[in-house]
Amino acid sequence: MAVCIAVIAKENYPLYIRSTPTENELKFHYMVHTSLDVVDEKISAMGKALVDQRELYLGLLYPTEDYKVYGYVTNSKVKFVMVVDSSNTALRDNEIRSVSAGDWRTTPGWWMFRKLHNSYTDVMCNPFYNPGDRIQSRAFDNMVMSMMIQVC
C-alpha cells in the first residue's frame, strides 16, 4: 500500500527514502519533495507551543489522481512522509480520526507512522548513529520494507 516512505530531516533533506522498486522512484522523490511544502505549511499553522501527540500526525497532505500523501512530524521537526496508492482505502480512516477524539489512534495510517517513529527512535538511540546521517539501519530497513509490503 505504502509505495514510498521517506524520512526527512529537520533541514528538509532526506534521511531515508524507500519506494517499492516497481515504481518509478524518481517520481516518488518528487512527490515527497513537493509534499514538504505542505508539511511546512501545516506545521506553521499549528503554531502552538505545546504539541501533543495528535498533532504529530498531519494526515493527508494532498491527494493526486493516483496517490495520496500522508505526513507526520516529530517534535524535533523530523518528517515522515508516506505515499500510498489511491486505490488502497485502508488509510482513509485518518479522516475519521479527527472526528472522534478516541479513535485517532485506531487509524492505520497513524499506527504506521507510530511504527516509523518508534523505529526512528531506535535508530537515534544507537550511539553509532550520528544525527543527520542517512539511516542505514537494517532494522529500520526491514521495518519499512515490511510496511510497504504489508500495506499492499
Partner 1 sequence: MEGLTLSDAEQKYYSDLFSYCDIESTKKVVINGRVLELFRAAQLHNDVVLQIMELCGAKRLGYFGRSQFYIALKLVAVAQSGFPLRVESINTVKDLPLPRFVASKNEQESRHAASYSSDSENQGSYSGVIPPPPGRGQVKKGSLSHDTVQPRTSADPQEPVSPVVSPQQSPPTSPHTWRKHNRHPSGGNSERPLAGPGPFWSPFGEAQSGSSAGDAVWSGHSPPPPQENWVSFADTPPTSTLLTMHPASVQDQTTVRTVASATTANEIRRQSSSYDDPWKITDEQRQYYVNQFKTIQPDLNGFIPGSAAKEFFTKSKLPILELSHIWELSDFDKDGALTLDEFCAAFHLVVARKNGYDLPEKLPESLMPKLIDLEDSADVGDQQSEVGYSGSPAEAPPSKSPSMPSLNQTWPELNQSSEDTAIVHPVPIRMTPSKIHMQEMELKRTGSDHTNPTSPLLVKPSDLSEENKINSSVKFASGNTVADGYSSSDSFTSDPEQIGSNVTRQRSHSGTSPDNTAPPPPPPRPQPSHSRSSSLDMNRTFAVTTGQQQAGVVAHPPAVPPRPQPSQAPGPIVHRPVDADGLITHTSTSPQQIPEQPNFADFSQFEVFAASNVNEEQDDDAEKHPEVLPVEKTSDPASSLRVAKTDSKIEEKTAASAPANVSKGTTPLAPPPKPVRRRLKSEDELRPEVDEHTQKTGVLAAVLASQPSIPRSVGKDKKAIQASIRRNKETNTVLARLNSELQQQLKDVLEERISLEVQLEQLRPFSHL
Positions that interact with partner 1 (CB under 8 A): 105, 111-112, 114-115, 118-119, 121-122, 125-129, 136-139, 142
For residue 13, how many other CB atoms are within 10 A of its CB? 10
Q: How far apart are the C-alpha atoms of 76 and 73, rounded to whole Å?
A: 8
CB 124 within 8 A of CB 131: yes
Cell numbers describing residue 45: 499553522
Nearer to partner 1, 62 or 111 (CB): 111
Tell me the closest approach of the beta carbon of residue 133 to partner 1, in angstroms. 9
Tell me the closest approach of the beta carbon of residue 142 to partner 1, in angstroms. 8
Nearer to partner 1, 47 or 128 (CB): 128
Tell me the closest approach of the beta carbon of residue 81 to partner 1, in angstroms. 18
CA-wise closest residue to 53 among 17, 4, 107: 107
